[in-house]
């Protein structure tokens, strides 16, 4: 199988927000913050954490010279069009960069106004630029009633595939009943809620001083927390139609979770209504991976290939050259069958997002 014989979909890329572009969509009450006019505030979103702002790689894909898709502003709608054209990816679902910190906003009214502005912005400057680009919206989980209203608006009026749930920053774990109205609305709408990490704050890594050490943990760890909470606090059982994506942690974090869940079932009896792995293989869960993850064949041998979907992560750690390389590595992997490669690179994303 070669790149000319395979179809490609991207379940998790990233846009990079422009303060000046986003500023055109906010109302006057937050315009000064959104456009960087407030001292000590560089744009409308909180700082992601205290470690992302200092990393200088020494070689490697991230630290070395990067090959971007175009000469357009990196992470813009126009840049994404070039990336899709050059990689052959048919469609992409994209997530924020600065907006990954939306969970750290403490004021519900501000979160609501910013999320509305962000959603209008990305719809106009990404999806309208290229219909192959599908931005996922932001909703103000600081107030579930406001989050429900905004989720309904972005799905029904803007045609977005759903919303991102930040896995760090919020005062309650994502399975807490405080957020259940959001899950009920998402299930009724048939849309996707996508859990995405990014920050190392509040998950036991706040005192780390090395970025790479933090990065090893701060994507998969909050996904582990959230999946376990959603199973054992009954969210999956209460809303069987709910579609949840767990992104940017790869597939390997599932192994210790599965092992512990099986062991605890043996010692304490089954607390959840179904075996743990059945929640993952229900068809309503998507796990983002690079496709060439070393652990993927093993995890797939345990629970099947259906939950796993290729994620480009462009233009964060991955540039154009790295994205092409990872696709080629996946296609050349002799431990995956052609059907499994097709599932990861195309079919699982198509089915989950109903493309």
Q: What is the per-residue DSSP string for 18-41?
A: -HHHHHTTS-HHHHHHHTT-STT-
CA dihedral 6→10→11→15, nearest 10 degrees, is 180
pLDDT score of 89: 98
**From 41-45, 132-136, 194-198, 313-317, the region with the lowest mean pLDDT:** 41-45
> Is the pLDDT confidence value at 12 over 60?
yes
pLDDT score of 56: 53
Average pLDDT, the chain: 93
Segment 116-123 mean pLDDT: 98
DSSP secondary structure letter of residue 125: I
- Is residue 286 a contact partner of residue 321, using CB atoms and an 8 Å limit? no
pLDDT score of 31: 86
pLDDT score of 269: 79
**Cα–Cα dist 243/136, whole Å:** 14
Q: What is the pLDDT of residues 291-326, one digit of tens each?
A: 889 999 999 999 999 999 999 999 998 999 999 999
Would you state the structure tokens that stand for residue 97, as one six-digit string?
């960069």
> Is the pLDDT confidence value at 333 over 90?
yes
Q: What is the pLDDT of residues 226-262, one digit of tens each?
A: 999 999 999 999 999 999 999 999 999 999 999 999 9
β-bridge mates for residue 192, sequence order: 162, 243
List the end-to-end C-alpha distance of the chain, in Å, as a whole number: 23
How big is the CA angle at 224 (ends 243 and 252), to the nearest 5 degrees? 95
DSSP secondary structure letter of residue 237: H
3-state secondary structure of 193: strand
Out of 171-180, 195-204, 270-279, the most confident range is 171-180
Segment 86-95 mean pLDDT: 98
pTM of the model: 0.95
Would you state the structure tokens that stand for residue 113, as one six-digit string?
């106004």
> Is the pLDDT confidence value at 5 over 90?
no
**Cα–Cα dist 8/323, whole Å:** 12
pLDDT score of 297: 96
Instruction: State what percent of residues in the chain have pLDDT above 90.
Output: 84
- Is residue 89 a contact partner of residue 8, using CB atoms and an 8 Å limit? yes
Q: What is the pLDDT of residues 45-90, one digit of tens each?
A: 999 998 887 655 555 444 567 899 999 999 999 999 999 999 999 9
**Cα–Cα dist 113/27, whole Å:** 8
pLDDT score of 268: 87
What's the chain's Rg over C-alpha atoms?
19
Residue appearing with tokens 């994507």: 219
The runs of H, that is alpha helices, within the chain are 19-23, 28-34, 60-63, 77-87, 108-122, 144-156, 180-189, 211-218, 220-232, 235-238, 254-268, 276-280, 296-303, 320-332, 338-342, 348-353
């Amino acid at each position: 199988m070669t790149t000319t014989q395979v179809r490609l979909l991207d379940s998790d890329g990233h846009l990079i927000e422009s303060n000046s572009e986003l500023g055109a969509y906010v109302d006057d009450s937050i315009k000064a913050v959104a456009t960087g006019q407030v001292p000590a505030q560089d744009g409308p979103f909180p700082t992601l954490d205290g470690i992302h702002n200092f990393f200088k790689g020494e070689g490697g894909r991230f630290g070395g010279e990067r090959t971007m898709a175009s000469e357009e502003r990196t992470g813009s709608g126009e840049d994404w069009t070039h990336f899709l054209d050059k990689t052959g990816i048919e469609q992409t679902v994209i997530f924020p960069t600065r907006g990954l910190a939306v969970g750290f906003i403490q004021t519900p009214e501000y979160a609501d106004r910013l999320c509305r502005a962000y959603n209008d912005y990305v719809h106009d400057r990404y999806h309208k630029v290229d219909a192959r680009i599908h931005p996922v919206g932001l909703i103000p989980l600081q107030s579930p009633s406001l989050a429900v209203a905004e989720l309904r608006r972005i799905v029904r009026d803007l045609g977005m595939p759903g919303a991102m749930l930040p896995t760090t920053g919020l005062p309650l774990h994502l399975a807490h009943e405080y957020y259940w109205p959001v899950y009920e609305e998402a299930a009724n709408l048939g849309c996707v809620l996508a859990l995405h990490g990014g920050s190392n704050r509040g998950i036991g890594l706040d005192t780390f001083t090395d970025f790479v050490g933090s990065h090893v943990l701060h994507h998969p760890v909050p996904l582990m927390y959230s999946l376990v909470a959603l199973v054992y606090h009954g969210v999956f059982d209460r809303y069987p139609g709910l579609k949840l994506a767990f992104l940017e942690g790869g597939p390997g974090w599932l192994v210790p979770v599965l092992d512990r869940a099986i062991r605890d079932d043996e010692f304490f009896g089954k607390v959840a209504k179904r075996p743990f792995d059945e929640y993952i293989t229900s068809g309503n869960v998507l796990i983002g991976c690079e496709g060439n993850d070393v652990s993927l064949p093993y995890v797939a041998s345990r629970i099947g290939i259906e939950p796993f979907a290729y994620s480009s992560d462009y233009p964060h750690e991955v540039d154009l050259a790295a994205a092409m390389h990872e696709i080629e590595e996946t296609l050349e992997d002799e431990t995956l069958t052609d059907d499994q490669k097709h599932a990861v690179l195309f079919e699982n994303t198509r089915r989950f997002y109903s493309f």
